[in-house]
Amino acid sequence: MKHENHSKRLEQRERKDYFAIPEGYFDELPIKIMERLPVSRESKAWNQLWFWQLSGSLFLTAVLLIGYWLIPTQMPLNAESLLAEVPREAIIEYIQNQGIGTDEIMENISLEEVEFDEVYLLHDVGPFFDKKNIDRLLEQYQTTDELLQ
Amino acid sequence: MRSNYLKKYPDSDLEEKELIQRLKNPESKRIAFHSLVRIYQRKVYALVRKMVIDHSEADDVTQEVFLKVWLHLDGFKENSRLYTWIYRIATNECLAYLRKKRIRFFLPIGDVEQQLITSLERQNYISGDEIESKLQKALLKLPDKQRLVFNLKYYEDLSYEDMAEITQTSIGALKASYHLAVKKIENSLMSD
């Protein structure tokens, strides 16, 4: 009976919020909790897939770069090498078709660097390169005809 | 008066079933969980605060409760209600926290009570009611589990059926525990 009275007295009391809570606490709490959530398995799996894809791409790039540097290339890389592969007849035909004059050719040739075969090539260019013209050119460029012997 | 507010969501139009469906769907899980936190944060915090008293400790424990809810969502069986499941996690977390606190500082039960009372006296209160203050101090003299039962019944207004589901205790044991707690509190209030 006494026990029931105790219960009644407590039950009759108005239940109040006793503890004060900092202002805005319940606005911030969901944000704090969401920030602490672990990364989902799906995201983790995606991250792993992304990691392996990137690793694979980087490995392939590295292999290609190493191969490029280490394997000696057979490709000619400068204009002289490329030109050396063109048949002489084709070069003569090209020069004739382009209407390039002898003077123009000679202006662009350094005779000091020209070897015999290259000077001799001039004999095939056309009727202009007869003995007389060659002598004149040799005189003009102050060289001897030893190269033409 | 029964706690109807727990069966519906006071801050949302979402029904519990719809919320659970969204929580089970990986695409909507995070958004639904955010809704869940907003719906239950005040109730969980209030329950935890009454147990640990200090705000910063209550904040930590409340966050842990929701993290555990998130981690165990896949294991949630729909044969129990969402709010009783969340309350169960919250009550377990509170009791575990107080138990760890004792172990960590090698505190005897009496010292923990005194620490909680000291913490209670340091708090800022909304209510300046002297009797309410005495009631809170009297509550702290109860064993943790009995205090929890009292809080669930007296402040949260839960039914014994729900309390039995939350605490995994028989209804008879809960009734006995509550009435014993009331008696102790009344005696404490009268003796002061």
A99-135 pLDDT, tens digit per residue, is 777 777 777 766 666 555 545 555 555 556 677 777 7
Residues 6+ apart with CB under 8 A from A41: none
Residue ranges of domains in chain A: 25-70, 79-148
Question: Which single residue is written with the structure tokens 């402040």?
Answer: B155
Query: Running along chain B, 192 residues long, what does each successive block of 10 average in pLDDT?
Result: 43 72 91 95 95 94 97 87 94 94 68 71 63 84 94 93 95 95 88 70
Q: Given an 8 Å threshold on Cβ–Cβ distance, is B126 in contact with A17? A: yes
Residue A132 near residue A123, CB atoms below 8 Å: no
> Alpha-carbon dihedral of residues A84, A88, A93, A99, nearest 10 degrees?
60
Q: Given an 8 Å threshold on Cβ–Cβ distance, is A34 in contact with B131? A: no
Distance from CA of A68 to the nearest CA of B (A): 46
Helix/strand/coil percent split, chain B, to 5: 75, 0, 25
ipTM over 0.90 threshold: no
> What residue ranges define each of the domains in chain B, with the CATH number in brackets?
4-191 (1.10.1740.10)
User: Region A87-110: what's the mean pLDDT?
Assistant: 77
Residue B149 near residue B180, CB atoms below 8 Å: no
Q: What is the pLDDT of residue A1?
A: 46
| Interface test mutation site (partner B, options A7, A33, A39, A42, max chain B beta carbons within 10 A) | A33
